[in-house]
Amino acid sequence: MATIAVLGTLDTKGLEHGYVAELIRRRGHQTLIIDTGTGSAPQIAADISREEVAAAGNVDLAALVARQDRGEAVTAMAGAAGVLLSQLVAEGRIQGVISLGGGGGTAIGSAAMRALPIGFPKVMVSTLAAGNVAPYVGTKDIVMFPSIVDVSGINRISRVLLARAAGAICGMVEAVPATGQDKPLIAASMFGNTTACVNAAKQILEDAGYEVLVFHSTGTGGRIMESLIESGMISGVLDVTTTEWADELVGGILGAGPMRLEAAGKGAVPAIVTPGCLDMVNLGERASVPAKFADRLFYQHNPQVTLMRTTPEECAELGRILAEKVNAYQGPVTVLLPTRAISIISARGQPFHDAAADAALFTAIREHLQPGIPLVEMDCEINDPAFAQACAEALLKMMASKAT
């Protein structure tokens, strides 16, 4: 029997949360009803009151209510609910969470769920689940469940959908993964242009007894990888494909945010860092490319993605950024440079070959990287088996040294 948190604004959607809680209890689980409302009195009794939620996040609820600013209230209670849920999970008091909401309720419920570990059961029943859910899900495994109709009463439609949602969260807490001899995890970043390198390094690392999780460097992939590293689940990082920084700097569509390349450093996780695919910025279909880039060099990767070559000036800045991110690492880190090509299409004779841009990138890395941080330069392309082997062996050596 598990305890499932039923979290929501009980002043406006209390009856619906109560209905879901009753269905969960009928399946043999316990519920912990949590009120995040800031309006009128709750429609049903809460196990954890709105005052307790606010206190968990150091929110002055009386002052918040007095200001009558709904946006401020949603933001404050979202943060406080995340703190409270994290405490409940850490104490082992809940094994899953479900929430129901419209715009405000979804903002609160999903923000609270994003504070929880990956793998912890989370279901968000929302009027917004049929649209762009990226702002609500973030990098976490939140199951967005479309409410179809508004979360406003129990009717012919909502009765069925809320019952299914209740069944979903119950099934999730009941589906306990089988325990076994789990191998230590390594996170690796990959793009189509670095696939051969990562696959070859992955094989070496797996032969050494590790499990390698590969993340596609598409913005979301980089953010998820950083989130997993932050969670403490990762033993080593093979960051071969740091291309998301090119999009972040120049204005491409696959940026991963300014925190990219920071989690391993803050967590002192052994890491390999290479400038893989910093020769390219990802843009949309050719007709959508901004006019300011009209005179740039492009390569049509597919009908939906247009790649744009980074300039020497951009590469110099990318080299500085990469070096400064690595300089902040608190654990072992090694930078490897494949000086002949940082992607398939930047090799000699390929569309993005630009010796001046590559030289600017490598020079900036050398100049800005702090002395003492290992910098390995290899006269080969990034997908050369020798480069993949060097990356894997350097990471294995660092992880072994940290373990002793």
Structural domains in the chain, sorted by start = 3-174 (3.40.50.12020), 185-403 (3.40.50.12030)
Cα separation, 187 vs 222, in Å, equals 10
Nearest of 119, 113, 118 to residue 175 by alpha carbon:
119
pLDDT at 31: 98
pLDDT at 386: 98
pLDDT at 180: 63
Cα separation, 48 vs 129, in Å, equals 27
Claim: this prediction has a pTM higher than 0.85? no
Cα separation, 337 vs 321, in Å, equals 15
pLDDT at 177: 75
pLDDT at 93: 97
DSSP state of 115: T
Instruction: Phi first, then psi: give them for residue 241, nearest 5 degrees.
Output: -120, 90
> What is the chain's pLDDT, residue by residue, as a tens digit (404 residues)?
899 999 999 999 999 999 999 999 999 999 999 999 999 999 999 999 999 999 999 999 999 999 989 999 999 999 999 999 999 999 999 999 999 999 999 999 999 999 998 889 999 999 999 888 989 999 899 999 999 999 989 999 999 999 999 999 999 999 977 766 689 999 999 999 999 999 999 999 999 999 999 999 999 999 999 999 998 889 999 999 999 999 999 999 999 999 999 999 999 999 999 999 999 999 999 999 999 999 999 999 888 999 999 999 999 999 999 999 999 999 999 999 999 999 999 999 999 999 999 999 999 999 999 999 999 999 999 999 999 999 999 999 999 987 76
H or E segment to which residue 299 belongs: strand 298-302
Q: What is the 3-state secondary structure (H, E, C) of 215-276?
A: EECCCHHHHHHHHHHHCCCEEEEEECECCHHHHHHHCCCCCCCCCCCCHHHHCCCCEEECEC
Instruction: Phi first, then psi: give them for residue 166, nearest 5 degrees.
Output: -60, -40
**Token couple for 124:** 């968000």
Residue that is written with structure tokens 């051969």 in the block:
196
If phi > 0 it is left, if psi is from -120 to 50 it is alpha, else beta; for residue 251 that is: left
Q: What is the pLDDT of residues 212-238, one digit of tens each?
A: 999 999 999 999 999 999 988 899 999
Hey, how many other C-beta atoms are within 10 angstroms of the C-beta on 19? Answer: 20
- The shares of helix, strand and coil residues in the chain, as percent rounded to the nearest 5, are 45, 20, 35
Q: What is the pLDDT of residues 6-27, one digit of tens each?
A: 999 999 999 999 999 999 999 9
Q: Are 208 and 235 in contact (CB under 8 A)?
A: no
372 CB-near residues (< 8 Å, 6+ apart): none
Measured over the CA atoms of residue 89, residue 95, residue 101 and residue 106, the dihedral's sign is positive
Beta bridge partners of 32: 5
Nearest of 121, 108, 100 to residue 82 by alpha carbon:
108
pLDDT at 14: 95
